[in-house]
Structures are given as structure tokens and as C-alpha cells.
């Protein structure tokens, strides 16, 4: 070993010391880069989090901004009444300062816009950070500081359309249920209505009665994203896709002769009936889909490969967090290698253990409408200062290929036939070409069997502009109860707007 | 109105700290310290201006006269400390001195804002440690021959940390501190220094592989006790410092490689052996999954940093106290929230600047022991900064170490002061020797003798090596006006490309 104090050894050491300096300088630059990335790109999404107590501090500095629909209607705003100064500028000793959060549309947007007066939900929670910031004119802000007035917070423009939302809400009528509509090309959520509803203006005083009312059907729940329903015949979309995937070249050869029921050849007890005992006769896959033939699909249920079906369900976002920024429920789908014939028959017609949210249904319809590509749903469009200057434009949503373009076009043509030849006859005479799938899911509620009516689809068939999912609780059939609601939404969006 | 002042000073402060940081790196590129003195004077003015502006904010917000008095005392302290340091030690490194005051000033500002009573306690310890630190260079230069005490330092370190293992108090899953007569202190902060002195001394005397094994064994015993105390943050700091010292002393990349491999193995081992390590790794990977418990501290820190943004909310405009033990492990999050991430980044850069200066001082050392001591202390310092900052911003899992000089805590402060004082001592000693050499040469020249200085070894000793690879190849002086070692070292600073 060379002498520690030799000049050569020292020089080598010094060289290595310089190397260490470079190493740590690089490490620190990486760390600083991460910090800049976090603050510049990641933090906006996190700041509105309800666990961040700092947002409340902004309450003392800014008046919470307004939430404005894409068609320019105010969905939420804060009204300030300040009587602390008289008109001539002198102090009014009896004056008070109050802020009231107002929701001009009341019950119509109750779950989607949410409320900010009793905790925060919906868009009020999602856009919290932006609503509590102020990018208004700095001169005015300084003047406000001097006069000890609060500056106005930024306004958030959302993708919801107030006109469409009202149509959707009213179309549900007396029924409980949900309507969600998105633009398949941009992912913008156009309407998100849920019934029963509540009045967000009086949520604070109504809170106890809403929470304690055991007969109430849960008005606080956003049925579009959090409601889980048996999908009924709408699940045939998934089954048809699975059959096509397993038989890419000869799915046309699927043949079934419907006599109103399908009985498992091995066990006479396993029998599935078509809705209200209809007899569909000779069918292929396309017509079985259009007529929503339970018997044919029960048979398909026994034919498909369970493992591949699970993979398809996984690709279609079952049992996963759905890509939306407000609270939503995961859809449930369970089939295992051990699932028996009966389970498969029931699953195939959407009557098994499967549960889906309207959001999930509209995601599938939207992907089929958009050549198999899901543009993830988004609610926020822009942040504007109180003077109307654009502060931030939310970037385009991420895209995800859920199915191939060929599969999407095939399923689209099946869904078109549902309107032209099948169960969605109430859309047949519309001025636009709609496509979709109906469903009538029988579930038991308090010992009684009720039917939840479904429609999920899009329009126009060539060049889709809107995808919609409707679920009506305790309706008749999908065709009779849900399709008219969807039609009202399509009519407004494509013709009347 | 107060808000207006806070907002205005917020931006002035940002401007000033950026300027300060610029001066910091500008300093490293100036070859002769005498030329850098005006720069250092400006740095001090900037610190004192920021300190004044921020204390005025604190006064306006609290309205307590106590703040003014306290500010006055701090101002006198900062001035006196700087004056005494430069007066007592003509060759002191002004950059490290300024940076010490800089860290102290920011630490005091944020502590006053967080908790005034803690700030006062902290200040008392600052004054005490500062007095000790003033004496350290004198002691090292005149009284002690540190390298002869290497085994004693090793024994002190092992015994002290052993006491912690036996009777120490547990906090946050690790045994860290001992209480003596109501006074708690964290032994590893002191052992950190004795460890470097011991291993640097042994490495500088190591002649063969056996000596290196013995030294490594001593280091391993230190680390083993720390691991048994579950103080893994400190164990990691010790380990990296030792590894780099070993590498610098042997110039053998194999040690570096083996060290890194064993570090990875140790990391995997500790992950599976210690539940609090797993907790912290989970909290690092996905803190959002458990924001109420495991992820609470780190998510609150991220909320603080994110809400503050680059320019910060302004003093008293945020909620830094929502972060648990904010004044120790997460002090940088509090600074970032209220004074801006830009301030936090500048502080990190100044820390990096300190490290660079310490490492450059190491290259300047002619004695192997002094070289290894400054390398060891510099590495310990920068790893600690990396662990605390990285932990606060979720760059790495949180390890629960403090930011030297800035964080609240007596042991950490005393230790930081001594570390900086030792580095200063080495710098001063080398500076004095160089001056003495210079005078000797001038005397020789006056007496008509050749300028040549005596060397331990003949100059052709390094034949067969490519000299251009090495940093300082210019020992052979024709003209003594070119300040010998000092100059050659400053060349190395320029080589860094500032």
C-alpha cells in the first residue's frame, strides 16, 4: 500500500473527492428537479383534498368562486351581504358580514355539483383549490387588502350543460334513477342527474332529517357514479364482445332457435326464460342481441371460456377504480374457473352477482362510439378569474383503448339494430340515428321483485356526439321506461339546443 | 394592511435569498479569498435584511414587544459572532461562516413563527454552541493532537452510543436520546463527530489490508449499536461517511462497490426486520392510501409544500403547525409553505454549497488525517441534508433526521456547530501553515538562498502516471508570488466549472 502522504496518492484522493462533489451535486439537482415537478405539475390535483386543512385559511382571504356550467349558467355562487359600512362610507355598528353559498338550480345539480357548507362533495370538493384561489386584478387585490375587503376567488367552468341536465333530471319524472351523458370524443361529462335529490341550499338545516330518514332512498348518493345496479341485458354487450373475441372469424355462424327458454341439456332445473316468454325463433348473434334474447345469451354463457371472460371484464374496467375524479364505486364482476353452468347462464344475461354503475355503462358506450378508445370522463374545463380571464385550461383527458376498432364497429352495428329492429323501438323514428342496448334487470327489494330499466347508447350512429346511460328504478322494461328518458336527452342535445 | 406588508416582504425575501445563493456559488469560483471578501460582506447584509424584514412581520402579527427585544439580541449575536470569528481567526472561511449565520437566521425566523418559547430555548443553545465553536479551532491547533486520540474517540463513541442502547428513551420507534438530570440529548449527534475523528485517524495510519479490516470493524460496531437502537437514519449516515472515507483513503473502487452492495442488502434486511421501517416505506410509496395514520405526516407536509407553491403563502398565512414534529424533521416544509419553495430550494442549494466548500477544503489539506476528517464530516452533513429534505418532499422515505442549524433541537445544533468549527479549524491551520511557508520563502529569498521548499519525497516519484489526470499538479514553483498550495487548490474549484 502506498504511503498515505505521498503526493501521488493525495492527488488521486483529491480527484476522487471532486468526483464525490459531482455525485452529490447531481443527486441534489435530481431532488430539486423532483420538488419543482411536484409543485409545478402534481400539487394542483392534491391541494383541494379534504385532508388539506390549509384550504380553510383561504376562506378568510377570498370569497369562494362560482361554479359555472359550459352553457354559462351559474351552478353555485357565494352571495356576500356586508352592512358594516353605511352608504356614505361611515361605520355601521350594527352591521354584519355574511356569506351564503347559493345553488340556483337547487335539486337538479345536488349530487354532481355537491355542496360546500356541510363538508364538501362533488365538484365543490373537486374544484375546491381553484375556487379558493384568487387570480383577480392584483391592483384591486391590493386595494382590497388596504380596505380590508376580501378579494373574489376564481370561477370554475365545468363541462356540465345546465340545459341538458335539466332535461335529464325532469325526464326521470317521479322515478328514482340516474342519467349520465358524456361526449365520447372529449370525455366531457355533459349531464349527471340523480334522483331522489335534495336541496343543497338548505343542506345544513335539512341534514339531520336526510341522514336519519330510514325510508329515504339516499338522496345524498350520486347514483351515476356511486350507485351499483344489476346490469340486466346491458351486460350482453360484454358477452357479445367475448363471443366475438373467441370466434373472430365465425361468430356469424352462431345459430340459435329460440322457443322462449333455454334449458341446460345436463340439468333440467337450469332454465332461463326470455323476457315475458317471448319466442324469437331462428337467430344469429346479431339478431339475438337486437331482440335481447335471454335464451340465446344463456347458451353463450355456457360456451365462453371463463378465464378469457375474466380477462375481458378486466380490460373493460370491472373491479377497478373508474377514471373519474369524484367519488365512484367499483363495478363488481366475479366469475371463476369453478363457476357452474347456472352461474354462467345467469351472468350472461346480467342477472348474476354482477353489479355496475351508470358511469361504467356510459364509459363502455362511449368507447364503442369512439372506435374503441375511451376518453376518460372529465368534469372541469377551465378556471377563470373573477373578471373572466382564463387562468387555467384543464388538459385533454387521457385515452385508453378498451376494445379494438373492429370490435367497436361491430358492437356499434349490433346496438344500431337494437334501435332499428329490436327493443329500443321508441328511438326508431328519431331524426338522428341512435344506437344502444336496453336492459330490464329484475331485483328483489323488500321481498318484492322489481325491475330496473336500463338504456345505454350513443347518437348519432355516424359521428357520435353524445353517449348516455339511463337507469330508472322500479320501471317497466328498458324499452318502455329508460329509452324515452334517453330520447329526451338525445333530442335536446342533437335537435333542440 | 399587515397582509400587504407580508405579501410585499414575501417577494423581497425571495429576491434576496436568490441573490444570496448566487453569491454563494460565485464565491466558489473566485480563486483568492481576499477578492471574495466584498461578496461575503454583501451576503451578511442580505441575511441581516431578511432577518429584519421577517422579524418585523412577526412583530406586526403578534404585536408583542418581546419580539423586538428578542430581535435586537439576535442581531447583536449575529454581528458579534461574525466579528469575533473573523477577528480571532484571520484565515477563517467566510463562506461557511456566512452560511452558518444564514441557516441560523432562517431557523430562528421560522421557529419564532411556529413557537416562540421553542425559539427562545433554541437561541440559548445557539449562543452556548457558538461560544464552544469559537474555541474549537484554537484547541485543535494548539492543544490537542487529535490523531493520537483516535482509539479514545472510538471508545467514547461506542460507549456513548452503548449507553443509549441500554438506558435510552424510545421515540418514534427508535432509541435516540439519554436524559441526564432532566437534560435530554441525542448521543448519535456527538458520536457522529467522534466516529469520523476515530476512523479518519485509523485510516490515515492504515498500512495494509489488516489495518483496514480493524478500522472497518470499529466502524461496524458503531453501526451495529445504532441498528440495535433502531436509529437507522443515523446508521445510514455513518455508513456512507465511512464508505467514502475508506474510498478516498485507499482510492480503491472495489470498496465503493462492495459498500454499495452491502448497503442494498442492509436496506432489504432492515425492511423485513423492522416494522417502523416498513411503515415508513409504505407511507412513502402511497401516503394517500392512509392519510389518517401512517401517511398523515408526509401528506400534511406535501399539502404544506404544494399549497405554498413556489412563492409561498407568506408568514402566518399557512398552517405549518398541522405537520407533526414540524420544527424538527419537517422544518423545510414549514419554510416552503410560508416562504416559498424557492426559498426551500435556495436553502438546499446553500447546503450543497457548504458541502462543496468542505470537500474543497479537504482537497486543500496536506495531512491525510485532516483530509479524511473533512471528507467524513462533509459527507455526514450532506447525507443528513439529503435525508431530511428528501423525506419531507417524498423523494425518499422519511428517516427522521434534522436539518443542521435550521431544525429545532439542542444536540443537533451543538453537533452542527462543532462540525463546522472543526472544518474551519482545519482550514485555518492549513491557511496559517501556508502563510508561514510563504514567509519562509520570502526570508530565504531575502537571504539569497533558492526558493525551493523541502518536500518529503522526490518529485519524480510519480513517474509512469499521467499527471494531467490530477487536479493539482503545480507544486513546482518558479515564482513564489504565486501563492503555493492555496492557489493550486483554488484551481480545483475552477475545474468544477462554476
- Provide the residue-wise pLDDT of chain A in tens; the chain has 497 residues: 446 667 788 888 899 999 999 999 999 999 999 999 999 888 777 776 777 777 777 777 788 899 999 988 999 988 888 877 777 777 777 778 888 888 998 889 988 998 888 888 889 888 888 888 888 887 887 777 777 778 888 999 999 999 999 999 999 888 889 999 999 999 999 999 998 888 888 888 888 887 777 665 788 888 999 888 989 889 999 999 999 989 888 888 888 888 888 888 777 778 888 887 788 888 888 888 888 888 888 888 888 888 888 888 988 999 988 888 888 888 888 888 888 888 888 888 888 788 999 999 999 999 999 999 999 999 999 999 888 888 888 888 888 899 999 899 989 999 998 888 888 888 888 889 999 999 888 888 777 888 889 999 998 998 899 999 999 988 888 888 899 999 999 999 998 87
Question: Positive or negative, the Cα torsion across A138, A139, A145, A151?
Answer: negative
- Does the pTM surpass 0.80? The reply is no
Residue from B471, B491, B498 whose CB has the most chain A CBs within 10 Å, to mutate: B471
B7 contacts in chain A (CB < 8 Å): 145
Q: How far B74 CA sits from the closest chain A CA (Å)? A: 31
Which residues pair with residue A457 across a beta bridge? Answer: A436, A468
Look up residue B139 and give its three cell numbers.
484547541
Q: Which of A42, A52, A146 sits opposite B307 (nearest CB)?
A: A52
Residues 28 to 67 of A: which have CB under 8 A from any B CB? 28, 31-32, 34-36, 38-40, 42-44, 46-47, 49, 51-55, 57, 61
Query: What's chain A's Rg over C-alpha atoms?
Result: 28
Longest dimension (CA), chain B: 80
**What span, in angstroms and rounded, lies between the C-alpha atoms of A346 and A232?**
9
Beta bridge partners of A191: A181
Beta strands in A364-479 (DSSP E): 373-375, 380-384, 390-393, 399-401, 435-445, 448-459, 466-472
Count of Cβ atoms closer than 10 Å to residue A365 Cβ: 30
- String of b and e for B456-478 (b: at least 16 CB within 10 Å)? eeeeebbeeeeeeebbbeeeebe
Mutate to test the interface with B, among A3, A10, A45 (most CBs of B within 10 A): A10
Average pLDDT, chain B: 85
Question: CA-nearest residue of chain A to B390?
Answer: A31
Residue from A396, A408, A333 nearest A363 by CA: A408
Per-residue pLDDT reduced to its tens digit, A400-427: 899 999 899 989 999 998 888 888 888 8
Q: What percent of chain B has pLDDT over 90?
A: 50
Q: A375 pairs with which residues across the strands?
A: A399
What is the distance in angstroms between the Cα of B368 and the nearest Cα belonging to chain A?
Answer: 6
> In this complex, is the C-beta atom of A23 within 8 Å of any C-beta atom belonging to chain B?
no
Report whether A300 contacts A272 (CB < 8 A). no
Q: Which pLDDT score, from 0 to 100, does residue A131 have? A: 87
Q: Looking at the partner chain, which of B299, B341, B359 has a beta carbon nearest the beta carbon of A35?
A: B341
Residue of A31, A55, A130 to mutate, testing the B interface (most B Cβ within 10 Å of its Cβ): A31
Which residues of chain A are within 8 Å of residue B207 when distances are taken between CB atoms?
1
Q: Which residues in A lie closer than 8 A to residue B341 (C-beta atoms)?
A: 35-36, 39
Q: Roughly how many angstroms between the first and final C-alpha of chain B, as a whole number?
A: 43
Tell me the pLDDT band of B297, cut-offs 50, 70 and 90. confident
CB contact under 8 A, A27 and B386: yes
Cα dihedral A99→A100→A103→A109 (10° resolution): 90
- CA dihedral (B190, B196, B197, B202) positive or negative: positive
Closest CA to A346 of A291, A241, A271: A271
Is the peptide bond prior to A196 cis by the omega test (within 30 degrees of 0)? Answer: yes
A20, B244: Cβ pair inside 8 Å?
yes
Using a CB-CB cut-off of 8 Å, the residues of chain A touching B257 are: none
Q: How far apart are CA B332 and CA B309, in angstroms?
A: 13
CB A457 within 8 A of CB A478: no
pLDDT of residue B489 exceeding 70, the answer is no
B341 vs A11, A18, A39: nearest CB: A39
Sign of CA dihedral A19, A22, A23, A24: positive
A4 to B304: CB separation less than 8 angstroms, yes or no: no
* Radius of gyration of chain B from its Cα atoms, rounded to whole angstroms: 24
For residue A382, what is its C-alpha cell? 377551465
Of residues A12, A34, A46, nearest to B393 (C-beta): A34
Give Cα B399 distance to the centre of its chain.
17
**DSSP state, residue A173:** T
Chain-chain contact of B7 with A16 (C-beta, under 8 angstroms): no
CB-CB contact of A434 with A490 (8 Å): yes
Min Cα–Cα distance to chain B from A100, Å: 24
Give residue-wise pLDDT tens across range B245-273.
999 998 889 888 998 898 899 888 888 88
Residue of B nearest to A14 (CA): B363
Closest residue on chain A to B291 (Cα): A51
Task: Give the closest residue to A481 by CA, choosing from A460, A455, A450, A444.
Answer: A455
Amino acid at each position: 500500500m502506498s504511503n498515505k502522504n505521498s503526493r501521488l496518492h493525495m492527488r488521486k484522493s483529491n480527484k476522487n473527492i471532486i468526483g464525490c462533489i459531482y455525485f452529490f451535486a447531481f443527486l441534489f439537482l435530481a431532488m430539486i428537479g423532483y420538488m419543482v415537478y411536484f409543485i409545478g405539475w402534481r400539487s394542483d390535483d392534491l391541494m383541494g383534498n379534504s385532508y388539506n386543512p390549509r384550504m380553510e385559511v383561504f376562506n378568510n382571504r377570498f370569497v369562494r368562486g362560482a361554479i359555472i356550467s359550459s352553457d354559462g349558467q351559474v351552478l353555485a355562487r357565494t352571495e356576500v351581504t356586508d352592512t358594516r359600512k353605511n352608504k356614505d362610507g361611515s361605520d355601521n355598528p350594527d352591521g354584519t358580514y355574511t356569506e351564503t353559498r347559493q345553488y340556483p338550480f337547487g335539486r337538479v345539480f345536488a349530487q354532481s355539483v355537491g355542496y360546500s357548507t356541510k363538508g364538501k362533495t362533488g365538484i365543490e370538493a373537486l374544484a375546491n383549490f381553484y375556487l379558493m384561489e384568487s387570480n383577480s386584478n392584483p391592483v384591486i387585490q391590493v386595494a382590497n387588502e388596504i380596505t380590508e375587503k376580501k378579494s373574489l376567488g376564481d370561477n370554475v367552468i365545468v363541462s356540465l350543460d345546465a340545459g341538458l341536465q335539466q332535461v335529464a333530471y325532469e325526464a326521470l319524472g317521479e322515478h328514482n334513477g340516474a342519467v349520465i351523458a358524456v361526449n365520447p370524443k372529449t370525455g366531457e361529462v355533459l349531464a349527471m342527474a340523480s334522483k331522489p335529490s335534495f336541496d343543497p341550499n338548505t343542506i345544513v338545516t335539512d341534514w339531520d332529517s336526510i341522514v336519519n330518514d330510514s325510508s329515504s332512498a339516499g338522496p345524498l348518493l350520486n347514483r351515476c357514479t356511486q350507485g351499483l345496479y344489476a346490469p340486466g341485458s346491458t351486460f350482453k354487450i360484454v358477452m357479445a364482445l367475448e363471443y366475438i373475441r373467441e370466434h373472430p372469424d365465425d361468430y356469424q355462424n352462431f345459430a340459435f332457435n329460440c322457443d322462449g327458454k333455454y334449458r341446460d341439456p345436463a340439468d333440467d332445473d337450469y332454465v332461463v326464460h326470455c323476457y315475458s316468454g317471448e319466442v324469437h325463433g331462428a337467430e344469429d348473434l346479431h339478431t339475438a342481441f337486437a331482440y335481447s334474447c335471454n335464451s340465446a345469451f344463456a347458451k353463450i354463457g355456457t360456451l365462453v371460456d371463463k378465464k378469457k371472460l375474466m380477462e375481458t371484464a378486466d380490460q373493460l374496467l370491472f373491479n377497478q377504480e373508474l377514471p373519474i375524479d369524484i367519488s365512484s364505486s367499483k363495478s363488481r364482476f366475479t366469475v371463476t374457473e369453478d363457476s357452474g353452468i347456472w352461474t354462467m347462464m345467469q351472468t350472461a344475461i346480467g342477472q348474476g352477482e354482477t353489479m355496475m354503475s351508470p358511469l361504467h355503462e356510459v364509459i363502455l358506450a362511449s368507447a364503442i362510439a369512439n372506435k374503441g378508445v375511451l376518453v376518460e370522463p372529465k368534469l372541469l374545463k377551465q378556471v377563470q378569474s373573477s373578471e373572466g380571464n382564463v387562468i387555467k385550461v384543464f388538459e385533454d383527458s387521457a385515452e385508453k383503448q378498451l376494445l379494438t376498432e373492429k370490435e367497436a364497429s361491430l358492437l356499434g352495428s349490433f346496438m344500431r339494430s337494437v334501435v332499428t329492429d329490436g327493443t329500443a323501438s321508441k328511438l326508431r323514428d328519431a331524426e338522428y340515428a341512435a344506437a344502444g342496448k336496453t336492459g330490464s334487470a329484475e331485483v328483489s327489494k323488500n321481498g318484492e321483485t322489481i325491475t330496473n330499466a336500463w338504456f345505454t347508447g350513443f347518437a348519432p350512429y355516424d359521428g357520435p356526439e353524445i353517449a348516455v346511460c339511463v337507469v330508472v328504478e322500479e320501471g317497466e322494461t328498458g324499452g318502455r321506461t329508460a329509452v324515452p328518458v334517453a330520447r329526451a336527452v338525445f333530442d335536446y342535445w342533437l335537435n333542440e339546443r | 394592511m399587515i397582509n400587504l406588508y407580508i405579501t410585499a416582504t414575501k417577494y423581497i425575501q425571495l429576491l434576496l435569498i436568490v441573490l444570496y445563493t448566487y453569491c454563494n456559488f460565485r464565491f466558489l469560483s473566485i480563486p483568492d479569498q481576499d477578492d471574495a471578501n466584498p461578496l461575503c460582506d454583501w451576503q451578511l447584509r442580505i441575511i441581516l435584511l431578511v432577518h429584519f424584514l421577517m422579524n418585523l412581520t412577526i412583530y406586526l402579527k403578534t404585536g408583542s414587544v418581546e419580539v423586538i427585544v428578542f430581535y435586537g439580541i439576535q442581531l447583536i449575536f449575529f454581528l458579534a459572532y461574525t466579528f469575533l470569528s473573523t477577528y480571532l481567526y484571520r484565515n477563517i472561511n467566510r463562506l461557511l461562516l456566512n452560511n452558518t449565520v444564514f441557516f441560523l437566521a432562517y431557523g430562528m425566523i421560522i421557529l419564532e413563527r411556529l413557537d416562540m418559547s421553542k425559539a427562545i430555548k433554541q437561541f440559548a443553545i445557539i449562543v452556548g454552541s457558538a461560544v464552544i465553536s469559537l474555541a474549537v479551532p484554537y484547541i485543535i491547533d494548539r492543544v490537542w493532537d487529535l490523531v493520537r486520540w483516535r482509539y479514545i474517540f472510538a471508545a467514547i463513541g461506542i460507549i456513548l452510543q452503548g449507553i443509549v442502547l441500554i438506558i435510552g428513551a424510545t421515540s418514534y420507534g427508535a432509541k435516540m436520546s439519554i436524559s441526564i438530570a432532566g437534560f435530554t440529548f441525542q448521543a448519535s449527534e456527538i458520536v457522529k463527530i467522534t466516529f469520523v475523528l476515530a476512523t479518519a485517524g485509523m485510516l490515515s495510519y492504515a498500512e495494509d489490508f489488516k489495518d483496514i479490516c480493524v478500522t472497518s470493524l470499529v466502524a461496524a460496531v458503531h453501526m451495529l449499536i445504532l441498528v440495535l437502537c433502531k436509529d437507522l437514519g443515523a446508521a445510514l449516515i455513518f455508513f456512507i461517511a465511512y464508505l467514502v472515507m475508506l474510498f478516498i483513503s485507499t482510492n480503491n473502487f472495489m470498496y465503493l462497490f462492495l459498500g454499495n452492495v452491502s448497503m442494498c442488502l442492509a436496506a432489504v434486511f432492515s425492511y423485513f426486520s423492522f416494522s417502523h421501517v416498513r411503515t415508513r416505506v409504505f407511507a412513502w410509496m402511497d401516503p394517500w392510501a392512509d392519510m389518517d395514520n401512517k401517511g398523515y405526516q408526509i401528506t400534511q407536509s406535501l399539502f404544506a409544500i404544494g399549497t405554498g407553491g413556489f412563492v409561498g403563502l407568506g408568514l402566518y398565512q399557512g398552517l405549518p403547525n398541522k405537520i407533526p414534529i414540524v420544527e424538527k424533521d419537517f422544518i423545510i416544509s414549514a419554510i416552503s409553505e410560508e416562504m416559498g419553495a424557492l426559498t426551500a430550494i435556495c436553502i438546499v442549494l446553500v447546503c450543497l454549497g457548504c458541502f462543496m466548500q468542505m470537500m474543497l477544503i479537504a482537497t486543500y489539506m496536506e495531512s491525510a488525517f485532516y483530509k479524511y476528517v473533512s471528507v467524513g464530516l462533509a459527507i455526514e452533513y450532506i447525507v443528513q441534508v439529503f435525508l431530511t429534505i428528501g423525506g419531507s418532499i417524498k423523494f425518499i422515505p422519511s428517516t427522521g433526521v434534522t436539518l443542521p442549524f435550521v431544525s429545532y433541537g439542542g444536540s443537533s445544533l451543538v453537533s452542527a456547530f462543532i462540525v463546522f468549527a472543526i472544518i474551519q479549524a482545519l482550514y485555518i491551520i492549513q491557511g496559517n501553515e501556508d502563510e508561514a511557508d510563504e514567509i519562509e520563502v520570502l526570508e530565504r529569498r531575502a537571504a539569497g538562498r533558492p526558493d525551493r521548499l523541502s518536500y518529503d519525497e522526490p518529485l519524480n516519484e510519480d513517474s509512469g502516471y499521467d499527471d494531467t489526470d490530477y487536479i493539482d499538479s503545480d507544486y513546482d514553483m518558479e515564482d513564489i508570488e504565486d501563492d503555493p498550495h492555496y492557489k493550486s487548490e483554488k484551481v480545483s474549484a475552477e475545474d468544477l466549472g462554476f
